[in-house]
């Protein structure tokens, strides 16, 4: 059987890179998408090639429905049917609600939530027709518990799981699963750039395991959800946060 083709949005970011490399290592053919404003994509592809990964990469504006439609059609024409979609692209524009601008609200909602519709819409019909598919939507612990200064981000990430549950109901009988994962604080470059005193005094004390999560642990969960062994898991929101938030 031909290797499954997985598309990872935001696949060049800190977490996205690990998801992409781990999925490739697990035997998937991986296509990464990146923001059209990313000027470092060639250097990233060269670095990955040096590490033994020859990824196909496409610039996709996940906020723009028409661009998603064009690029997904191009990917499928050049690489084959998309079996797995990991909706990983996301941004933050943190500020208190009092200071939050409409632009900051809209940018986060469009990039984090609208993107899930824009990308999933392009691949779902094919998954249903072929009778197999996996969609994994990357949410956040802050979509579950909220976070000071993140009304936009928390709302978008909470909305992702509502999207997951409803779509999972619609496509379950076609052997297509749709799931959410909600990572906590993961040791990406963005998080490890936080000053050590803030990490030690404010963040790590919230985490019962007493450490940041590893990007590879998140990637491992995604690989499980994309496997045949996870065929009975759909509509789930799986927390991976070191015990920071339990419900």
CA distances from 5 to 33, 47, 104 (A): 13, 22, 34
d(Cα 93, Cα 18) in Å, to the nearest integer?
23
The DSSP result for 114-153, as a single string, is: IHHHHHHHHHHHHHHHHT-EEEEEE--HHHHH--TT-HHH
- Annotated catalytic, 58? no
> In a 3-state reduction of DSSP, which class is residue 179?
strand
CA angle 184–189–8, rounded 5-degree value: 70
Catalytic residue among 153, 185, 224, 247: 153
Both tokens of 165, joined, read 């549950």
d(Cα 119, Cα 237) in Å, to the nearest integer?
19
> In a 3-state reduction of DSSP, which class is residue 57?
strand
Give the residue numbers marked as catalytic.
Answer: 153
């Amino acid at each position: 059987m031909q290797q499954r083709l997985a598309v990872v949005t935001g696949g060049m970011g800190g977490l996205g890179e690990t998801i992409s490399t781990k999925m490739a290592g697990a035997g998937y053919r991986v296509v990464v998408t990146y923001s059209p404003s990313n000027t470092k994509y060639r250097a990233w592809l060269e670095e990955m090639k040096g590490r033994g990964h020859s990824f196909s990469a496409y610039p996709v504006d996940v906020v723009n429905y028409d661009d998603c439609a064009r690029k997904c059609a191009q990917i499928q024409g050049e690489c084959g049917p998309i079996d797995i979609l990991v909706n990983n692209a996301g941004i933050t524009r943190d500020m208190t609600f009092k200071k939050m601008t409409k632009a900051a609200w809209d940018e986060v909602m469009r990039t984090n939530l609208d993107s899930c519709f824009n990308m999933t819409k392009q691949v779902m019909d094919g998954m249903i027709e072929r009778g197999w598919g996996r969609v994994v939507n990357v949410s956040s612990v802050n979509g579950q518990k909220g976070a000071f200064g993140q009304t936009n981000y928390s709302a978008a990430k909470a909305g992702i799981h509502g999207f997951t549950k409803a779509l999972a109901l619609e496509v379950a009988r076609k052997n297509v699963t749709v799931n959410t994962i909600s990572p906590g604080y993961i040791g990406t470059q963005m998080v490890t750039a936080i000053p050590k005193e803030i990490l030690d005094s404010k963040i790590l004390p919230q985490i019962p395991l007493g450490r940041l999560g590893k990007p590879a642990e998140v990637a491992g969960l995604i690989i499980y959800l994309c496997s045949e062994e996870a065929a009975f898991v759909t509509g789930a929101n799986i927390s991976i946060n070191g015990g920071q938030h339990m419900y």
